[in-house]
Amino acid sequence: MSPAVLALTLAVARSEPAPPPPEADPAPEAGAARAALAALEEEDVALAHQALGPFEPLDRAGAAVRFAGGVLRFFEGRYPEAVALLASAGATETPEYGMAQAALRVTLRDQRVETEHFAVWFPPDAAPAVPPLLGALDAQRRALRPLLGELPAGRLRVELVGKPGEVAALAGLAEQDVVRSGAVGAAKFGKLVLLAPEGPPGDAWLDAAAHELTHTVITARTRNRAPVWLQEGLATWLEGSWRGRGGALSPRAEALVARAGARGRLMELREMHPSLARLSFDRAALAQAEAALAVEYLSRRAGAASIAELLERVGAGADAEEVAAGELGLGPGGFAAGWRRYLDERALSQAGRETLRRLGEVDGADGPRGTP
């Protein structure tokens, strides 16, 4: 992906739900609130609905249900109701209330366009970006189904905003992290938040949108249990699928990995945890490229079908590295070790070699380094 549109991995940068205020609630309501918040931690809005359904209308329930209901309404994009429920639950000092207020303020004058699978909310000056965005998201959705398995049902909310600070506000992040990382998108709280382009959207910006959509699919398939390397690797590896370029690493990403390898500065998978949100732009870009090559390694050696199987087993609670090692016929720790060997041996494409030369790294690290 172009440095100008690096899509920050936010799907796993969780904001832990604050506990409900201490007001006592009847046991059934307290249990339902806990169940709903647990479901929302996995970004399962339908399950949260099921937990709170018996207590509708929520504004007449106890404080614990009102708090959980406010968080649910935030996930749904029903921001006025979220603010009201959280305030009535005595939760005005919580991060959830602050995010709901910020989201209400940012989206207050938004327009909306809906299709079968997406609802896009946008300020009027971002309207020209909406048709190409919807086209790319629909194409990405079609491309992901045979690769990742069953896709989430329902209509996904997509919010276009005008400033990096608004991305941060709607995703529960620090603005300085968004600015430093160069993020243009976030997949969080069951929706996509995208920084609207200043002009007509090009392939790079649409790749970033497809990248974030892929995050939402991975989150749903794994119940928000995928580690950063898997989330980011798959999203980066597949972001160009909407235009027939899935599974192809960009020349710049190849060059970044080659340069880091020559300098002894490659990242380990564990260094990507718990989020890329606080890495510098360059380190976040390197992490994305390395993670994509972890997915490429698994796919090439174990077959493309191994990816959907991996997601299913991670969603059931299995460790991603252990599952990947098993799919490759390796023992404990074998996946990370095999991936590092793959980085060392993988041959650069001609475009990757040319990009590496432009980056100024010609000390023997830019030639072919083995057979994939």
Segment 2-16, tens digit of pLDDT: 433 344 333 333 344
Task: State residue 187 phi and psi, 5-degree precision.
Answer: -110, 105
Residues 303-343: tens digit of each pLDDT: 999 999 999 999 999 999 999 999 999 999 999 999 999 99
Q: 25 to each of 19, 228, 367, how far by Cα in Å?
A: 13, 37, 67
Looking at residue 25, what is its pLDDT? 55
Looking at residue 182, what is its pLDDT? 74
CATH of region 3-12+114-358: 1.10.390
**Whole-model pTM?**
0.87
Handedness of CA 129, 131, 135, 140 (dihedral sign): positive
> Would you give the DSSP letter of residue 114?
E
Q: 276 to each of 272, 318, 343, how far by Cα in Å?
A: 6, 22, 20
E-strand spans in 203-342?
A: none
Determine which of 82-86, 244-248, 306-310, 363-367 has the lowest per-residue pLDDT on average.
Answer: 363-367
> Within 13 Å, how many C-alpha atoms sit on residue 54's CB side?
9
Mind giving me the DSSP string for 330-342?
A: --TTHHHHHHHHH
Handedness of CA 208, 210, 212, 214 (dihedral sign): negative
Residue 358 has pLDDT above 60, yes or no: yes
